[in-house]
Homo-oligomer: A and B are copies of this chain.
Amino acid sequence: MPPNLQPVFRALGDPTRRDILRMLGQEPMTVAQVSDQFDMTRAAVKKHLVMLSDGGLIHVERRGRETINSLNAAALKPAFDWLGWFDQFWEDRLAALQIAIEKDISNDTGHNHD
């Protein structure tokens, strides 16, 4: 069965939640650490975290009296792939990714980039 895109795109519809995802992409954080970054109450941030968890975009683990929120990036892949369908309409569609791939290839050949 195909992954359910709806909760993922729903979660991405809010800028606070997108920011949280980027933050958790750097490192796992407690609820307090996340909410310290925003000008809103901890309860409000917590609700965003619940939505992200419901959509499977983050993993939540209770450790003692604090809970660690960590990114589950795999859940974003289907949304990325969905948007990738429109790739056919973009001129420079492979530009950014091609750079990364060429780097891999040059690594294979032993070239040095430092």
Contacts and interface: CB of A to CB of B under 8 A. Distances in A.
Instruction: Report whether over half of chain A's contact residues are helix, strand or loop; otherwise say mixed.
Output: helix
Contacts of A83: 76, 79-80, 83
A43 interface: no
Contact of A12 (B13, B81, B84, B90): B13
A94 B86 contact: no
A101 B90 contact: no
Contacts of A1: none
A86 B25 contact: yes
A1 to B, nearest CB: 16
21 contacts: A9-B9, A12-B12, A12-B13, A21-B86, A25-B85, A25-B86, A71-B89, A76-B83, A76-B86, A77-B90, A79-B83, A80-B80, A80-B84, A81-B96, A83-B83, A87-B97, A94-B97, A94-B100, A97-B97, A97-B101, A98-B101
